Chains A and B, each alone.
Chain A
């Protein structure tokens, strides 16, 4: 199973871009990188996912290195409401059951400060 490594915590000034790194050096060619976040013990919320191309949606951008061994989630203009634990996850595919299981690590606690 491909594992991810994230910093335990990060700070970001309100209005600035928040760049959250993730290492996944053992990722396989058909595994996707997903990002979720969890705000104050609520249920996790999907943010974005990608395979090898950079992706952008209304919430964030995902930059994946060419060798796919690391990625960065970018929140372009962080607000206080973005304070949360951010999880970088590599999708593990179970071929027998034909589905993927989301396996969470420890995540990065992002503190957005005024």
Chain B
């Protein structure tokens, strides 16, 4: 039982490049979330999904797209990376409708130069 797995763990991008971050969970959770965390700050919600095939915007969605084609996977895409997107990205999943206990991945450290 791996929990929540994020791929990759580290990445350096050039401005304007695109990439996709993968989040996979093996707990059969319905709800999945993408957050970003900048140095010295709390986590900010980018997008979330309440089930396969559905996505919704969070606090800071601009510059990102997401997809949830399979229940166990939640993809975060950057179409044209900008230095302002340099951050640590965390994925989370939960089963309960009240998000009773969200499980987090270990993070992806992304640097855009």
Distance to closest chain A CB from B5 (angstroms): 11
**CB-nearest residue of chain B relative to A42?**
B106
In the complex, A97→B50 CA distance in Å? 7
Q: Which residues of B contact A99 (CB under 8 A)?
A: 31, 48, 50, 97, 99
Enumerate chain A residues within 8 angstroms of B69, measured Cβ to Cβ: none
B74 at the interface (CB under 8 A from A): no
| Bound-complex Cα distance A91 to B99 (A) | 8
Cα separation A97 to B32 with both chains bound (whole Å): 13
Q: Is the interface of B mostly helix, strand, loop or mixed?
A: strand
* Interface hit among B11-19, B35-43, B78-86: B35-43
Rounded to whole angstroms, the CA-CA distance of A100 and B96 in the bound complex is 9
A34→B99 CA distance, assembly (Å): 10
A32 adjacent to B98 (CB under 8 Å): yes
Residues of chain A contacted by B50 (CB below 8 angstroms): 97-99
Residues on B with beta carbons closer than 8 Å to the beta carbon of A43? 4, 90, 92, 104-107
- Whether the Cβ atoms of B100 and A104 lie closer than 8 Å is no
Known: A85-B42, A99-B97. 19 other contacts (CB 8 A): A32-B98, A41-B107, A42-B106, A42-B107, A43-B90, A43-B105, A43-B107, A46-B102, A46-B103, A98-B97, A99-B50, A100-B97, A100-B99, A102-B45, A102-B92, A102-B102, A103-B45, A104-B35, A104-B43
Partner-A contacts on B (CB < 8 A): 4, 31, 33, 35, 37, 41-45, 48, 50, 56, 58-59, 88, 90, 92, 97-107
**A residues in contact (CB < 8 Å) with B:** 32, 34, 36, 41-46, 49, 85, 87, 91, 93-94, 97-107
